[in-house]
Amino acid sequence: MTTYETHDKTAYGTLDGKVALVTGGSRGIGAATALRLAQEGADVAVTYVNGKEAAEDVVRAVQALGRRAVALRADAGDAAEAAGAVDRAVEALGGLYVLVNNAGVGVLGPLPDLAPADVDRVLAVNVRGVFLASRAAAGRMREGGRIITIGSCMAQRVPGPGGTLYAMSKAALVGLTKALARELGGRGITANIVHPGPIDTDMNPADGPYAAGQTTLTALGRFGTAQEVAATVAHLAGAAYVTGAEYTVDGGHAA
């Protein structure tokens, strides 16, 4: 008779007592992710730029779940702060197991309207900051760490005009993720990217001026929630044998 191992703890690990850093964790997808990882047992550091009070609310919500938490002001668009947030999280919480590269900015518009300063800012926050935080995290992680980056469905399919800069920045993260997977796999560290579709947040409200068109493009006929993206991030934080992968959480936007 064949016997089956029903629960291999090395195949899907718990986050009990592990430390996660979520960049841009004061609102939206980042805040939902911070809370979800805390529900899975992690202590959580979040970064923010302007939303000090919102970040402190997230800290209190994590603490109410019985986990430790800290809010760090760190601009992902500043090279020193992007990497420094990793070191500050390690110092505050005593280690690092999960890095969630969530902080991002969306600058959309017709090609002639995008100034060089827009290009520099979007690439600094969405790409350089992710590279530098990932590199710093790889330097601090032990065996089996997790690097999870928030991309966008626009890295895969651009459904209309105006997305050149944003799509370019998010597509760069696909290459970074696959290369990180190859570079860090020998240490058991995984790197994956999650591509949200239209998610109801301050960046892209479900009642905003561009919402109807995005809703129509989804197979499910609705915006997603930040919690629905966070659930996939939590899954990847626990998954030992998934790396270099793109997970699409878009309600069928790309179907």
Ligand X SMILES: NC(=O)c1ccc[n+]([C@@H]2O[C@H](COP(=O)([O-])OP(=O)(O)OC[C@H]3O[C@@H](n4cnc5c(N)ncnc54)[C@H](OP(=O)(O)O)[C@@H]3O)[C@@H](O)[C@H]2O)c1
Q: Which residues are catalytic?
A: 166
Minimum CB distance to ligand X, residue 112 (Å): 23
Whose Cβ is closer to ligand X: residue 126's or residue 243's? 126
Which of 15, 47, 137, 237 is close enough to bind ligand X by CB under 6 A? 47
Which residue in the block uniquely carries the two structure tokens 């601009």?
75
Q: Which CA distances in Å does 34 have to 42, 64, 242, 253?
A: 9, 13, 21, 25
Which of 13, 19, 20, 30 is close enough to bind ligand X by CB under 6 A? 30
- As a whole number of angstroms, the distance between CA 224 and CA 232 comes to 12
- As a whole number of angstroms, the distance between CA 21 and CA 74 comes to 12
Site for ligand X in 119-158 (CB under 6 A): 125, 150, 152
Whose Cβ is closer to ligand X: residue 13's or residue 27's? 27
Reduced 3-state DSSP string for 2-54:
CCCCCCCCCCECCCCCCEEEECCCCCHHHHHHHHHHHHCCCEEEEEECCCHHH
SS3 content of the chain, % helix, strand, coil (to 5): 45, 15, 40
Q: Is 174 exposed, middle or buried (0-12, 13-18, 19+ CB in 10 A)?
A: middle
Which of 24, 86, 146, 167 is close enough to bind ligand X by CB under 6 A? 24
Site for ligand X in 74-113 (CB under 6 A): 75-77, 102-106
251 binds ligand X (CB under 6 A): no
Which of 201, 218, 243, 248 is close enough to bind ligand X by CB under 6 A? 201
Give the count of alpha carbons within 13 A of 25, CB side only. Answer: 34
28 binds ligand X (CB under 6 A): yes
218 binds ligand X (CB under 6 A): no
Minimum CB distance to ligand X, residue 129 (Å): 7
Note the residues at the interface with ligand X (CB under 6 A): 23-30, 47-51, 54, 75-77, 102-106, 125, 150, 152, 196, 198-199, 201-204
